[in-house]
Amino acid sequence: MSAVAVRDRYLESLLNQATLAAKTSSLTLDTLRATAKALVQEQAFPSNRDEDWRFTDLSSMLETVFQVPDGVTDTTLDQAKALLADISLGTYQAVFVNGTFVDSLSNLGDGLNVLSRLAAPDSLGQVQGNNEVFTALNTAGFTDAAVIHVAKNTVVEQPVQIIYLTVGDTLFVQPRCLVVAEASSAVTLVEEFHSNGSSFTNSVTEVWVQDNAEVTHLRLQQESTKTVHIGKTAVSQARDSRYRSTTLNLGARISRHNLEVYQAGPQTETTLNGLTAIRDKQLADTHSLIALNHPHGTADQLQKNIMDERAHGVFNGRVYVPQKAQLTNASQLNRNLLLAPKCRIDTKPELDIVANDVKCAHGATISQLAPDEVFYLQSRGINHDQAQRLLIYAFAMEMIEPIPVAPLRERMTQYIQQWTV
């Protein structure tokens, strides 16, 4: 069988699995799934020959037959509870174990619900980019979905936490989340991905930020280093809205995060902060897109990556400023720290600017720890190892310190402290 045929067969089997897991609640959802299924069937499983997947090789996945989970057993639930203990913020939370919503571990309310209890909202599956193969695969077969609906002029004071736990090996799990923040509302969303085995997570989160609304989105990917994680965050921003995200990529054997922000009205504000800290043979890929289409938008992106041992980071940051997007102010910076001779980063800022009255800045830096900084610390009595740790910690903390949810910030600070030891 040719390599192409192997990949086609593999995608087909994933789609079949996905279809098994799909719960259907309405005619709208049925139609949506059928369309998505057809989209997957038209496409191929990505290979390194695809420009979008040049540096992220998924071929090792082909050796594993992933299967959708067969319900949630008591043992699974106990393991999930143990994982949850350190994570829960104790506010509104929705917990999904192996793709299934678990009511007994959740605390719904204040606009947080799950799809199986609602009619599918019209906005589900509608953000641009929904035809991409993994996004369509998720739409064709996700089991349960978290739905956060913040009514007009409502400010949700407590963060809303969505936790996806995968317990077990060779499982194929498709987390799904929909956020609709109506006009002039405000909400903070914490999404967390955790697992303990060699599973495959394929997640999709859609965020609709309506006129003058504000969404703060903290996304933590801390899956087992045996897991393959492919995630999509697709954001649509209406006029005068603000979207601020911090994305933390710490776990997984292979991870890919597609972060896409589409401007749907003038004067939007977009802030994307990201930190990747990986080691061993981990690969973490962040593909971002900020597509402006209206005047007076601002976009500010800072992505920091730390690679140690044989880890491989990938950053592709696209900013699209067409003719209509005049008076836009966009800046993008990607900073990379390589800690070992065999680690690697592939970075590619991609600015596509047609409008003529705009301010756009971008940059990418790749460095090792600066020997002069290490020497400065040593000359004050701090030994070489401790000096290095302090500098790595400082590099990472620039992204951790602004996290507005204190317990998460503290947990991440501890994580980074331990990571640098």
Partner 1 sequence: MINSDAKTILSVRDLRASVDGTEILKGLNLEVKAGEIHAIMGLNGSGKSTFSKVLAGHPDYEVTSGTIEFNGQDLSGLEPHERATAGIFLAFQYPLEIPGVSNREFLRVAYNSHRKARGEDEVDVFDFDDLIEEKTDLVKMDTSFLDRSVNEGFSGGEKKRNEILQMALLEPTLAILDETDSGLDIDALKTVAEGVNKLATPNSANLVITHYQRLLNYIVPDYVHVMCGGQIIKTGSRELALALEAKGYEWLLEEQAVAS
Question: Which stretches of the chain bind partner 1, using CB under 8 A?
Answer: 370-373, 375-384, 386-387, 390-391, 393-398
Please report how close the Cβ of residue 408 comes to partner 1 at its closest, in angstroms. Answer: 19
Residue 103's Cβ-count burial label (10 Å; 0-12, 13-18, 19+) is: exposed
Residue 42 or 385: which CB sits closer to partner 1?
Answer: 385
User: Which residue's CB is nearer to partner 1, number 88 or number 378?
Assistant: 378
Question: Which residues touch 16 (CB under 8 Å, ≥6 apart)?
Answer: none
User: Pairing mode, if any, of strands 228-237 and 254-263?
Assistant: parallel
- In angstroms, rounded to a whole number, what is the distance separating the alpha carbons of residues 10 and 14? 6
Pair of tokens at residue 338: 């390589």
- Find the shortest distance in angstroms from Cβ 374 to partner 1: 9
The closest of 314, 347, 353, 313 to 333, measured between CA atoms, is 347
Nearer to partner 1, 9 or 384 (CB): 384
Residue nearer to partner 1 on the CB measure, 126 or 378:
378
Distance (Å, whole) CA 184 – CA 271:
18
CB of 267 to partner 1, least distance (A): 30
**DSSP of 328-352:** -EEEEEEEEEE-STT-EEEEEEEEE
Residue closer to partner 1 (CB basis): 156 or 387: 387
- Could you give the CA distance from residue 421 to residue 417 in angstroms, rounded to a whole number? 7
Cα torsion angle, 380, 382, 388, 392, sign: negative
Find the shortest distance in angstroms from Cβ 305 to partner 1. Answer: 15
CB-based contacts of 85: which residues, under 8 Å, 6+ apart?
none
Q: Supply the minimum distance, in Å, between the C-beta of residue 421 and partner 1.
A: 15
Least distance from partner 1 to the Cβ atom of residue 255, Å: 24
Residue 243 CA to residue 236 CA, distance in Å, equals 9
Smallest distance, partner 1 to C-beta of residue 365, A: 13
Pairing status of strand 172-173 against strand 329-338: unpaired
Least distance from C-beta 378 to partner 1, angstroms?
4
Q: How far is the CB of 364 from partner 1 (least distance, A)?
A: 17
Which lies closer to partner 1 via its Cβ, residue 201 or residue 303? 303
Question: Please, where are the H alpha helices in 245-306?
Answer: none
> Considering beta carbons, is residue 187 or 387 the nearer one to partner 1?
387
In terms of CB distance, is 104 or 379 closer to partner 1?
379
**Using CA atoms, how far apart are residues 345 and 38, in angstroms rounded to an integer?**
35
Collapse the DSSP code of 210 into the 3-class scheme (helix H, G, I; strand E, B; otherwise coil) and give the result. Answer: coil
3-class DSSP assignment, residue 383: coil
The number of residues in the chain equals: 421
The amino acid present at 76, given as its one-letter code, is: T
Nearer to partner 1, 31 or 376 (CB): 376
The helix/strand/coil state of 63 is helix
